């Protein structure tokens, strides 16, 4: 294996002053905020559905999914469209601006914290230029089982 | 070679061929002397044999091969066709059908063993050829079982049998490669080559493909037919290096033993196996099987629609027009604006035609559902001892593919009902002065934006009194209520769950899971069922279906700022209602509407929206689910519109009261409410 294959690219986004990263191969696009149609009786973290170029795509408010405080969307808010389990799903985040490469050697195992809301969502902690980036396991975050 | 890419095509075509065969067989039954039909069936069997052979579906190939033999004898006047033969051909058809359906679901032929059928076919052929003079002389079957039939298919058995009768030897050999052998498949290839130079290999375990792919341990076994002796072959094989051991046994059995088994009703499988290594073989065979299972998981066959090329051309033309209009719109933006209106009108025309064209692509003739009924009616009539003629018309009527898939079961149910409960026995029919042959008419025709399917029989009709009595017995209604019901209301009782009027439960129908299922299914695809009946004259079921499910007319409503769509098909009427007329009875709000109490559903509460300030008057949309009605309180009506149904996707699956979403003219999303789930 050469060194470049050890580098994985991550889309980095921000929530509550923390940086998070998603494996770029799972990301389809990043969209600006648009009109959400609320989905009644859905889990609270489902923000609604959006019209993404003629397709109806559900959007998950990642803040609520991670049990962070609710925050109104603003001009910096972004919807990251991910493609997981043959599903297209949007993730509402505070802001997202860059893609970075992290070498697998710079990734630590997630801290073991029992009964935290994000338990199991975190794949690892990436280190890049003194910043810590929480790498999330997107499959777990929007596991279909959890939606009931 | 990877055949997966051809699998879809194979399935489509085989289905078509089997359908034709079915039709021709039905016709043949009516005109047994028609040589053209025989030729046609022969040709189809031949085509299927060829196709399945290429695809490696050997069971189908052998079965059709035997069918061919029989048909050929009929064709050349060696055998006279009789109902037994037709029945036999029908059962072959069923087995073929079964294989194909299994291929569709799993990619493999079904496990069903068709050796019995093959032998029957063979027997029939021999019987007839020998003028029914079959010697039942019992030869002692002493030496015939070095070989267990279990792992040999009928093709192999037949070949061996033939070889024996021609004075050739059949051997079963097990070759063990030495453990140090590195290129097992190459070694096997040399063995095969050597053997093939003077013998015919008729069977191998594991199959040749697997051997080529090195999917075996150090051992494989073969069945071959040759004129050389055991010793010669053994010497030849041992000459090849890296071979540990070769075991060769002669396989011998004569014709009488096969026939005897059938005559005494013995299953071929019951022959005792003696050698121990056969168990080993089973293990190897099993390994092969599990491997194949893994492989098949990847090729689940999707739904396909065969499209007439003209329709696609039309679609293509429209899309090219769309591109032209796009450039025109770009220009119109630059120059003066009076061009714009014209361009938009043009665009509108194109999109309407495009919509039409795409819808047409999804349409398939209802024949697809209908064509299995003649056979079904024939079989059922035979089973029930009734004489029934099925008359079908309007098979060319086109319906959306999704509907085709849904409508089959309800129709089968209704037809079974007609046959079982509707049409009387021939004797009874004669007694009341009807022709002995019962008649069932199946008709389909387009009617505006709907397709109507009618099923009419000239049987006894529905005994309304009996229905009432049964309903009282089952506690569906009270005696008092029964008296007050009019005919239509009695008929509606038939559609209540768990209701069945037959006294005896037959295999055909009357298990109590009857018409309610039919009704639910049809309503789930936005259709309706109507019944007309008159005593001793027969009954008529009419099913009315929308042409397509993808686009429906809907009523858009406001609840606070949110917009929801209600399918028009479930709306009865819209009316204003005064708030002070709403009463509360046992926690259920009701309103007196047209002299009936109508339960009220406040949509905002269902959808988790706060109550708005109470106005004196509000709008109520009366919706129906079957015969049940309810009033939905909404804030504002927006209007009626054709909407395109989009699925909410797996992620939001299971959220109550939603049937999907649609995108409105301004790009905003509106959710479609599932009215049926509201009450």
Residue B565: what pLDDT? 93
Residue B676, both tokens: 């049926």
Residue A24: what pLDDT? 92
Residue B422, both tokens: 């509707």
Q: Is the pLDDT of residue B196 over 60?
A: yes
pLDDT in tens, B158-195: 777 777 777 777 787 888 877 777 777 777 777 877 77
Cβ contact, residue pair A88, B656, below 8 Å: no
Residue B336: what pLDDT? 62
Residue B280: what pLDDT? 41
Sheet with strand A78-84: strands edge to edge: A27-32, A78-84, A87-93, A55-61, A46-52
Residue B300: what pLDDT? 47
B566: confidence class by pLDDT, cuts 50, 70, 90: very high
* Residue B644 vs residue B661, higher pLDDT: B661
How far is it, in rounded angstroms, from Cα A36 to Cα A59?
8
Burial class (CB in 10 A: 0-12, 13-18, 19+), B472: middle
> If you average pLDDT over residues B33-37, what whole number do you get?
81
In the 8-state DSSP scheme, what is residue B180?
T
**In residues, how long is chain B?**
679
- Residue A27 phi, psi dihedral angles, 5° rounding: -95, 135
> What are the C-alpha distances in Å from B37 to residues A43, B31, B49, B367?
63, 9, 18, 21
- Residues of A (89-128) whose Cβ lies below 8 Å from B: 89
A32 part of contact set with chain B, CB < 8 Å: no
Residue B630 near residue B599 (C-beta atoms within 8 A): yes
Chain A residue closest to B607 (CA)?
A40
How far is it, in rounded angstroms, from Cα B540 to Cα B537?
10
**Residues in chain B within 8 Å Cβ distance of A89:** 651
In the 8-state DSSP scheme, what is residue B78?
S
Among B74, B102, B67, residue whose Cα is nearest residue B88: B67
**Residues in chain B within 8 Å Cβ distance of A79:** none
- Residue B146 phi, psi dihedral angles, 5° rounding: -75, -15
Residue A5: what pLDDT? 58
Cβ contact, residue pair B654, A46, below 8 Å: no
Q: Is the pLDDT of residue B207 over 50?
A: yes
B601 part of contact set with chain A, CB < 8 Å: no
- Residues of B (248-307) whose Cβ lies below 8 Å from A: none
In the 8-state DSSP scheme, what is residue B107?
S
Query: To probe the interface with A, which of B563, B651, B659, B666 has the most A CB atoms within 10 Å?
Result: B651
How far is it, in rounded angstroms, from Cα B37 to Cα B25?
8
How far is it, in rounded angstroms, from Cα B651 to Cα A144?
6
Domains assigned to chain A: 3-143 (2.40.50.180)
Residue B361, both tokens: 């692509």
Residue B328: what pLDDT? 75
pLDDT in tens, B11-32: 888 888 888 888 888 888 888 8
Check if the interface score ipTM surpasses 0.95: no
pLDDT in tens, A52-105: 877 889 999 988 888 888 888 888 899 999 988 778 899 999 988 889 888 888
Q: Say how far residue B184 (Cα) sits from the centre of its chain.
A: 43
Task: Check the CA dihedral B491-B496-B502-B503 and report its sign.
Answer: negative
Residue B238 near residue B222 (C-beta atoms within 8 A): no
Distance from CA of A130 to the nearest CA of B (A): 37
Distance from CA of B105 to the nearest CA of A (A): 21
B2: confidence class by pLDDT, cuts 50, 70, 90: low
* Mean pLDDT for chain B overall: 76
pLDDT in tens, B82-104: 777 888 888 888 888 888 888 88
> If you average pLDDT over residues B521-547, what whole number do you get?
82
B43 part of contact set with chain A, CB < 8 Å: no
- Residues of B (536-595) whose Cβ lies below 8 Å from A: 562
Using a pLDDT cut of 70, give the percent of chain B over it.
Answer: 82
Residue A127: what pLDDT? 85
Highest-confidence segment of B53-67, B505-519, B556-570: B556-570
Q: Which residues contact B348 (CB under 8 A, 6 or more apart)?
A: none
Cβ contact, residue pair A35, B669, below 8 Å: yes
> If you average pLDDT over residues B272-276, what whole number do you get?
41
Least confident of A1-10, A62-71, B428-437, B568-577: A1-10
How far is it, in rounded angstroms, from Cα A137 to Cα B250?
63
B502: confidence class by pLDDT, cuts 50, 70, 90: low
How far is it, in rounded angstroms, from Cα B175 to Cα B168?
21
Residue B292: what pLDDT? 41
Among B544, B514, B496, residue whose Cα is nearest residue B399: B544
Of A41, A55, A144, nearest to B656 by CB-CB distance is: A41
pLDDT in tens, A106-148: 888 877 666 665 567 888 888 888 888 889 888 888 765 444 3
How far is it, in rounded angstroms, from Cα B232 to Cα B427?
73
How far is it, in rounded angstroms, from Cα B630 to Cα B677?
12
Q: How many CA atoms lie within 13 A of B454 on its CB side?
A: 15
Torsion of the alpha carbons at B484, B487, B492 and B496, rounded to the nearest 10:
60
Residue B574: what pLDDT? 93
How far is it, in rounded angstroms, from Cα B304 to Cα B578?
52
Residue B121: what pLDDT? 74
Q: Is B68 a catalytic residue?
A: yes
pLDDT in tens, B107-166: 777 776 667 777 777 777 776 655 443 333 333 333 333 344 445 666 677 777 777 777
Q: Is B99 a catalytic residue?
A: no
Q: How many CB pairs under 8 A join A and B?
A: 72
B5: confidence class by pLDDT, cuts 50, 70, 90: low
Q: Say how far residue B370 (Cα) sits from the centre of its chain.
A: 12
**Residues in chain B within 8 Å Cβ distance of A87:** 649-651
Q: Is the pLDDT of residue A40 over 70?
A: yes
Residue B107: what pLDDT? 75
B289: confidence class by pLDDT, cuts 50, 70, 90: very low
Residue B294: what pLDDT? 39
Residue B297: what pLDDT? 40
Least confident of B46-60, B280-294, B319-333: B280-294
> Residue B134, SS3?
coil
Q: Say how far residue B48 (Cα) sits from the centre of its chain.
A: 19
Q: Is the pLDDT of residue B512 over 50?
A: no
pLDDT in tens, B407-463: 888 888 888 888 887 888 888 888 888 888 888 999 998 877 678 899 998 888 877
Q: Is B27 a catalytic residue?
A: no
pLDDT in tens, B359-377: 778 788 888 888 888 888 8
How far is it, in rounded angstroms, from Cα B582 to Cα B602?
11
């Amino acid at each position: 294996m050469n060194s470049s294959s050890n580098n994985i690219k991550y889309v980095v986004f921000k929530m509550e002053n923390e940086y998070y990263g998603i494996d770029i191969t799972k990301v389809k696009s990043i969209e600006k905020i648009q009109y959400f149609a609320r989905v009644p009786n859905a889990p609270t973290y489902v923000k609604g559905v959006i019209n993404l170029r003629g397709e109806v795509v559900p959007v998950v408010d990642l803040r609520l999914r991670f049990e962070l405080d609710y925050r109104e969307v603003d001009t910096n808010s972004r919807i990251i469209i991910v493609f997981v389990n043959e599903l297209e799903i949007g993730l509402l985040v505070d802001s997202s601006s860059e893609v970075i490469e992290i070498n697998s050697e710079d990734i630590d195992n997630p801290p073991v914290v029992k009964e935290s809301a994000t338990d199991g969502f975190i794949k690892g902690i990436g280190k890049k230029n003194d910043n810590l980036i929480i790498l999330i396991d997107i499959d777990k975050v929007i596991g279909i089982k959890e939606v009931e | 070679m990877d055949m997966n890419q051809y699998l879809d095509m194979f399935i489509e075509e085989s289905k078509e061929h089997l359908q034709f065969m079915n039709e021709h067989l039905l016709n043949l039954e009516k005109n047994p002397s028609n040589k053209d039909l025989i030729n046609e069936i022969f040709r189809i069997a031949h085509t299927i044999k060829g196709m399945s052979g290429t695809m490696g579906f050997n069971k189908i190939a052998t079965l059709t091969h035997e069918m061919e033999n029989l048909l050929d004898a009929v064709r050349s006047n060696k055998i006279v066709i009789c109902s037994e033969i037709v029945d036999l051909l029908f059962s072959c058809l069923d087995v073929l059908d079964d294989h194909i359906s299994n291929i569709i679901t799993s990619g493999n032929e079904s496990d069903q063993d068709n050796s019995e059928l093959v032998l029957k076919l063979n027997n029939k052929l021999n019987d007839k050829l020998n003028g029914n003079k079959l010697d039942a002389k019992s030869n002692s079957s002493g030496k015939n079982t070095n070989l267990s039939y279990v792992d040999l298919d009928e093709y192999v058995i037949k070949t061996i049998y033939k070889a024996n009768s021609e004075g050739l030897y059949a051997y079963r050999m097990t070759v063990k490669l030495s453990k140090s052998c590195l290129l097992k498949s190459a070694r096997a290839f040399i063995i095969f080559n050597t053997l093939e130079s003077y013998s015919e290999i008729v069977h191998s375990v594991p199959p040749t493909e697997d051997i080529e792919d090195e999917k075996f341990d150090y051992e494989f076994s073969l069945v071959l037919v040759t004129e050389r002796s055991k010793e010669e072959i053994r010497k030849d094989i041992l000459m090849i290096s890296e071979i540990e051991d070769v075991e060769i046994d002669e396989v011998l059995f004569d014709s009488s033993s096969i026939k005897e088994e059938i005559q005494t009703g013995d299953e071929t499988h019951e022959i005792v196996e003696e050698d121990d290594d056969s168990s080993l073989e089973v293990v190897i065979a099993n390994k092969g099987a599990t491997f194949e299972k893994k492989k098949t998981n990847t090729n689940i066959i999707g739904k396909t629609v065969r499209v007439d090329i003209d329709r696609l051309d039309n679609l293509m033309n429209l899309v090219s027009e769309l591109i032209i209009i796009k450039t025109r719109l770009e220009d119109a933006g630059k120059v003066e604006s009076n061009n714009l209106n014209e361009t938009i009108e043009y665009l509108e025309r194109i999109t309407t035609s495009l919509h039409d064209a795409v819808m047409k692509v999804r349409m398939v003739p209802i024949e697809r559902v209908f064509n299995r009924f003649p056979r079904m009616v024939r079989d059922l009539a035979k089973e029930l001892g009734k004489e029934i003629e099925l008359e079908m018309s309007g098979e060319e009527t086109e319906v959306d593919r999704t509907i085709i898939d849904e409508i089959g079961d309800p129709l089968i149910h209704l037809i079974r009902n007609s046959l079982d409960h509707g049409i009387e026995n021939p004797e009874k029919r004669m007694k009341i002065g009807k022709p002995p042959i019962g008649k069932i008419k199946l008709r389909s025709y387009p009617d505006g934006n709907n397709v109507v399917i009618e099923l009419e029989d000239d049987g006894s009709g529905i005994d309304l009194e009996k229905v009432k009595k049964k309903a009282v017995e089952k506690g569906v209604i009270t005696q008092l209520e029964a008296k007050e019901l009019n005919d239509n209301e009695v008929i509606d009782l038939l559609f209540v769950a768990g209701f069945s009027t037959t006294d005896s439960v037959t295999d055909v129908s009357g298990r109590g899971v009857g018409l309610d299922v039919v009704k639910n299914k049809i309503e789930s695809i936005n259709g309706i069922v109507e019944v007309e009946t008159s005593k001793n004259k027969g009954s008529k079921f009419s099913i009315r279906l929308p042409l397509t499910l993808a686009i429906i007319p809907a009523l858009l409503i406001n609840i606070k700022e949110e917009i929801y769509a209600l399918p028009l098909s479930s709306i009865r009427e819209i009316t204003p209602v005064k708030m002070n007329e709403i009463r509360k009875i046992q926690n259920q709000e009701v309103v007196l509407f047209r002299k009936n109490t109508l339960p009220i559903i406040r949509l905002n509460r269902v959808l988790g929206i706060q109550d708005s300030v109470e106005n004196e008057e509000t709008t109520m949309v009366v919706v129906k689910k079957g015969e049940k009605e309810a009033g939905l309180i909404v804030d504002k009506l927006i209007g009626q519109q054709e909407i395109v149904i989009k699925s909410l996707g797996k992620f939001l699956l299971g959220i109550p009261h939603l049937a999907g979403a649609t995108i409105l003219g301004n790009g905003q999303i509106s959710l479609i409410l599932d009215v049926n789930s509201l009450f």
